[in-house]
Amino acid sequence: MSHRTRIIMLGAITVAAGIAVALLPRMAQPLDYHHFADQRTFLAVPNFFNVISNAPFLIAGVWGLMLVLGLRESEGQPFITPVERWPYLILAVGVALACFGSAYYHLAPGNTRLAWDRLPMTLGFMSLLSAMLMERLNVRAGLVALGPLLVLGLASVVQWYISELRGAGDMRLYFMVQFYTLLLILLILGLFPARYTRGADLVVAMGIYVLAKIFELLDRRIFNLGHVISGHTLKHLAAAFAVYWVFRMLARRRAVAPADF
């Protein structure tokens, strides 16, 4: 299968996915989403464990930022060309901001604060997609796509929030930005040749993120096992570990394709 054919296939799948999501019924944010199992207060901080468990995002983001900027020595060759740093730089910033956005939300859960939780998350999803486009399809194309992808991600949250204010909540676009982006990254990994080693680490990171979403769904069941830790707290820890795994990959990988790939 030629490179052009694979690109056409990827585009066709994306268009089909977009049409399928558009045909779904409108999806409002369920209000019971904000009723987390662990609502314990410690040190005068409400929902303490769901708040404090965001700290690993800041740690992972700062470590990634240092790695991307060359302030921390890496074991391999993170980038062939300097422009490839940009998506990972935004990913690191987005992850660090997610610490504050999510902590702010969990102090008093509600739709208004949830928007601040989701905005930095979209920076992470879309910047990683741009990085995969640069590394697997074409460096220039991935760089050009970075700006529009970030705008789309942020717009998906704004659109959802405005729809909630109007009493007709609609998460479909945000749903696609979060979940189809991850599926698209896996498709790119499977269809296109690698520019660097350690591509399997990205699959591992995706698997850890899926585990995080499972923890989220089992929030109360996990908490009821002994009232020690909730599924949502575990979700934060697992999601932060998934991001750490991406930056770990970055620190250890080496180039396997020429610079003009």
3-state secondary structure the chain: CCHHHHHHHHHHHHHHHHHHHHHCCCCCCCHHHHCCCCCCCECCECCHHHHHCCHHHHHHHHHHHHHHCCCCCCCCCCCCCHHHHHHHHHHHHHHHHHHHHHHHHHHCCCHHHHHHHHHHHHHHHHHHHHHHHHHHHCHHHHHHHHHHHHHHHHHHHHHHHHHHHCCCCCCHHHHHHHHHHHHHHHHHHHHCCCCECCCHHHHHHHHHHHHHHHHHHCHHHHHCCCCCCCHHHHHHHHHHHHHHHHHHHHHHCCECCCCCC
| 234 lies in some domain | yes
Q: Is the pLDDT of residue 168 over 90?
A: no
Q: Is the pLDDT of residue 125 over 90?
A: yes
Backbone angles phi, psi at 45, to 5 degrees: -105, 115
Contact 73, 194 (CB under 8 A): no
Q: Is the pLDDT of residue 207 over 80?
A: yes
Calculate what percentage of the chain has a pLDDT beyond 70: 98
Q: Tokens 């820890």 identify what position?
A: 237
The CA distance from 200 to 105, in Å, is 33
Parent domain of 141: 3-252
pLDDT of residue 257: 65
| 181 lies in some domain | yes
pLDDT of residue 145: 95
Backbone angles phi, psi at 129, to 5 degrees: -65, -45
Q: Per residue in 51-106, pLDDT tens?
A: 999 999 999 999 999 999 987 777 778 899 999 999 999 999 999 999 999 999 99
**What is the residue-averaged pLDDT of the chain?**
93
| 257 lies in some domain | no
The CA distance from 24 to 47, in Å, is 34
| Length of the chain measured in residues | 261
Contact 73, 251 (CB under 8 A): no
Long-range own/partner contacts, residues 151-157 (CB < 8 A, 24 or more apart): 152/126, 152/177, 153/122, 153/123, 153/125, 153/126, 153/177, 154/119, 154/122, 154/123, 156/122, 157/115, 157/118, 157/119, 157/122
Calculate what percentage of the chain has a pLDDT beyond 90: 80
Q: How confident is the model at residue 41 (pLDDT cuts 50, 70, 90)?
A: very high
| 187 lies in some domain | yes
| 16 lies in some domain | yes
Residue 197 is part of a domain; what is its CATH number?
A: 1.20.1070
Mean pLDDT over 233-241 rounds to 98
Mean pLDDT over 145-158 rounds to 96
Q: Is the pLDDT of residue 258 over 60?
A: no
The CA distance from 66 to 68, in Å, is 6
Q: Name the burial class of residue 158, with classes exposed (0-12), middle (13-18) and buried (19+) by CB atoms within 10 angstroms of its CB.
A: middle
Q: Is the pLDDT of residue 120 over 80?
A: yes
| 260 lies in some domain | no
pLDDT of residue 101: 97
pLDDT of residue 73: 73
Q: Per residue in 16-29, pLDDT tens?
A: 999 998 898 998 88
* Total structural domains within the chain: 1
pLDDT of residue 93: 97
pLDDT of residue 167: 86
